[in-house]
Amino acid sequence: MRELRDRVVTEIRKVVVGQDYAVDVLLAATAVGGHVLLEGVPGVAKTLLANAYSRALGLEFRRVQFTPDMLPSDVTGTMTLRGNDLAFRPGPIFTNLLLADEINRTPPKTQSALLEAMQEAQVTVDGTPHRLPEPFLVIATQNPIEYEGTYPLPEAQLDRFFAKIDVGYPTADDEHGLLRLAHRGLTPSTLDDVRAVVTADELRELRDGVDATRVDDEVVRYISAVVRTTRSQPSVLLGASPRAGVHVLAASKAAARLGDRSFVTPDDVRAVAPAVLSHRLLLRAEAELERFTPADVIRSVLSQVPVPR
Ligand SMILES: Nc1ncnc2c1ncn2[C@@H]1O[C@H](COP(=O)(O)OP(=O)(O)OP(=O)(O)O)[C@@H](O)[C@H]1O
Ligand SMILES: [Mg+2]
């Protein structure tokens, strides 16, 4: 599966510079059926990355730009009159990869509709459940700067995301590299060159492989200790949930499998912990004032908990 991972990374590098880690997290999410939050200021290629990723995986892609006036049914679908019969008209959520752009610009009612569907892999309209396609992956984006008129996702909703990726500014070399990419007008001219390099069979194989990945009890204990330690940090108001632990375990298995191993090492856990845990921690106001971040807490927790060898 290492070869599959390299194939996807190489394909996406045709249009997106310097986001290999993000691609790794997206692959892990795809492998376990989790959903990803991309956080970053405007213009750092969040949309481009989601688009390129769907192409490289050969997934059907839809984008919904969230706005304050959006209704839950604009996402999930509605009952419409067809002739004399009421029929369900599926909303944009019925796709393989949904880019939920600027999710914090829409009111909580519409956010919950999306998050519920994410959790249950189905949409219920008028009492009738409708299964979402398989695979189903949501990439939601949000801007870290809270503008007036935004609705920040509450912690309870954030916990439903498998991982969060901070998409930051590029390094000087990457900035040079992205300016050097071929453009047609304002858009990268190579986006159409991004080919599907993974088959549906390979995706299934990846998923099955992750489920079959072995985890020694020692490593399970390590994950549990990391999760529990987040709850006792002085700077933390709300630590990682038990669900967070389940997600760390799944992410670690995916990391092992994508690295061609059939067992999880503590290093897999350490590699995935920042992406899987940081968005679930709520810090005390004092800690935030001192510009202490959830990423700092995870770093500190990983240095406190003894690593099994
Ligand atoms: N790392 C990068 N590699 C390649 N191109 C980049 C990169 N970062 C930015 N760009 C360029 O910036 C453009 C804007 O990217 P995109 O629209 O994906 O940003 P965004 O993060 O979704 O912004 P917004 O928050 O405004 O939606 C891209 O089309 C691309 O030309
Ligand atoms: Mg965008």
| Domain harbouring 159, CATH code | 3.40.50.300
What digits encode the pLDDT tens for the residues 214-237? 999 999 999 999 999 999 999 999
Residues 193, 220: one domain?
no
Residues 87, 233: one domain?
no
In a domain, 60, yes or no: yes
Residues 185, 252: one domain?
no
What digits encode the pLDDT tens for the residues 83-141? 888 899 999 999 999 999 999 999 999 999 999 999 999 999 888 999 999 999 999 99
Domain region containing 28: 2-199
45 lines ligand 1 (CB under 6 A): yes
55 lines ligand 1 (CB under 6 A): no
- Domain boundary among the residues 141, 166, 199 is at 199
Residues 64, 193: one domain?
yes
In a domain, 233, yes or no: yes
Residues of the chain above pLDDT 90, percent: 84
Residues 222, 150: one domain?
no
In a domain, 277, yes or no: yes
**Among 13, 44, 191, residue to substitute to test ligand 1 (most atoms within 8 Å of Cβ):** 44
Closest listed residue to residue 269, CA positions, set 239, 224, 304, 300: 224
Q: Output the pTM of the full model.
A: 0.94
- Domain boundary among the residues 151, 173, 199 is at 199
In a domain, 204, yes or no: no
Residues 34, 180: one domain?
yes
Backbone φ and ψ for 129, nearest 5 degrees, come out as: -80, 140
Ligand nearest to the CA of 40: 1
In a domain, 35, yes or no: yes
What's residue 83's pLDDT?
87
Q: Specify the residue with its C-alpha closest to ligand 1, atom 7.
A: 45
Atom of ligand 1 nearest to the CA of 186: 31
As for how many domains the chain has, the answer is 2
Residues 146, 247: one domain?
no
Residues 67, 162: one domain?
yes
Q: Let me know if 272 is exposed, middle or buried by CB neighbors in 10 A (0-12, 13-18, 19+).
A: buried
281 lines ligand 1 (CB under 6 A): no
Residues 138, 162: one domain?
yes
For ligand 2, the distance from its centroid to the CA atom of residue 53, given in whole angstroms, is 14
103 lines ligand 1 (CB under 6 A): no
Cis status of the peptide bond prior to 135, with omega within 30 of 0 = yes
In a domain, 123, yes or no: yes
219 lines ligand 1 (CB under 6 A): no
Instruction: Kindly provide the residue ranges of all beta strands, DSSP E only, lying in the chain, ordered along the sequence.
Output: 36-39, 61-65, 77-82, 85-90, 97-101, 122-125, 128-131, 137-142, 163-166, 183-184, 187-188, 236-238, 282-283
191 lines ligand 1 (CB under 6 A): no
Atom of ligand 1 nearest to the CA of 51: 18
262 lines ligand 1 (CB under 6 A): no
What's residue 147's pLDDT?
67
What distances in angstroms separate CA 252 from CA 29, 209, 211, 219, 267, one per listed residue? Answer: 11, 13, 11, 10, 9
**What's the CATH number where 257 sits?**
1.10.8.80
40 lines ligand 1 (CB under 6 A): yes
Residues 37, 129: one domain?
yes
- Domain boundary among the residues 199, 222, 249 is at 199
For ligand 2, the distance from its centroid to the CA atom of residue 198, given in whole angstroms, is 25
What digits encode the pLDDT tens for the residues 178-203? 999 988 888 888 888 899 999 999 99
Residues 19, 120: one domain?
yes
What's residue 70's pLDDT?
95
Q: Specify the residue with its C-alpha closest to ligand 1, atom 25.
A: 42
In a domain, 57, yes or no: yes
In a domain, 293, yes or no: yes
